[in-house]
Every structure is written in structure tokens, then in C-alpha cells.
Amino acid sequence: MKIALAADHAGFGYKDKIAEQLRAQGHETHDFGTRDATPVDYPDYGFVVGAAVASGRYDRGIVVCGSSLGIAIAANKVEGVRCAAVVEPYSCELARRHNDANVLALSERLTGWEMVERLVAIFMETPFESGGRHSHRVAKLAFGVAEQTKAEADLARGYVEGAQTPKSLL
Ligand code: RB5
């Protein structure tokens, strides 16, 4: 697969090791930076990997920052991106099986390297359970401004949480 990688100054060390891990497994990687400890802004790096994956030029993306959180929030701002910030194996597996996550966000300050190596392997190897309820739900994530406006209007009219969800989807 073709994998887009990026990190801020708090994550570039893991980003470089992840690139080595992926290349050793036969994947093609592209490094969108950063390459040293000079402080940079994590949104710039989340956005670029998000855009790279959303464009279809890369199959998946992996981003790293100090906590995993800021860069994940940034990546998820790009339409078409489903970025999961994970710290343990089961949520990583579910991010692929149920959410078809196309970008993985990792933390260099909070997660040890052995765990990160494992999370990368799970992210790369776990398939999406397509064709059933998960496909339907992931398709909903792609809804745009019109649906957002409708949801806001529904809330303003006093909808109770989940009230619009047909039982068949639960
Ligand atoms: C940088 O100090 C840190 O704030 C950043 O790497 C990340 O953790 C933000 O969410």
C-alpha cells in the first residue's frame, strides 16, 4: 500500500521508525515532515496527510504528535478522512473493522514504541467488515453540510438524542 506519513516535532522520531517498519513490510511511504525537533504546528501535518489520503493518491495515512489528539483532530477536518487516535490494540482493530479508519493517529509521548509497532501492524492488516451495518454507518459519516444543517435544525426543534434512528439500524 501507499502510506502518507507526517508528524509534528513531538512525533517525528516515531514517524521515522514507522516508515522503516512499513517499508520492511513492502509498503511504499511518503514523508510529509516534520524532520527535526524545531517546533511546528500539528494542524499543518494533520491536514496534509488528510488531504493526501482523501485525494486517493495514498491508501492510508499515519500521523504522530505528542498526544495523538491534536493531529487526529486536524486530519479529521478533511472530508473523507476517518482518523482514529488509538493507544491500545482492541480499539485499533475496531477502528479498522467497524469504522474503516483510513488514517491512524499515534502518540510519541504517551505510548511506548513496542505498542506503537503493534498498533501499526494491526492498522495495516485488519480488514473493514464491509457490506453490512458498518458500511451503512461509515457511509453516514460522509454526509455533508446539508445533513449537518438538518441535524442542527432537528436539535433546535427539540429532538431527543437518537430519536431519528430507526430500530432496524440499532
Ligand atoms: C506539542 O507540544 C503538542 O501539543 C502536540 O504534539 C500534540 O500533543 C497536540 O495535540
What is the set of active-site residues? 65, 98
Report strand pairing: 28-31 vs 60-65. unpaired
Determine the Cα–Cα distance for residues 29 and 17; give it in Å rounded to an integer: 12
CA nearest ligand 1 atom 3, residue: 66
Q: To test ligand 1's pocket by mutation, which of 40, 47, 64, 67 has the most ligand atoms within 8 angstroms of CB?
A: 67
**132-169 tens-digit pLDDT:** 899 999 998 887 767 777 777 777 776 656 555 544 44
Largest CA distance in the chain: 55
**20-50 tens-digit pLDDT:** 999 999 999 999 999 999 999 999 999 999 9
Q: Is the pLDDT of residue 105 over 90?
A: yes
Residue 141, C-beta contacts closer than 8 angstroms, at least 6 positions apart: 82
Report residue 23: phi and psi, to 5°: -65, -35
**Residue-range domains of the chain with CATH:** 2-125 (3.40.1400.10), 132-169 (no CATH)
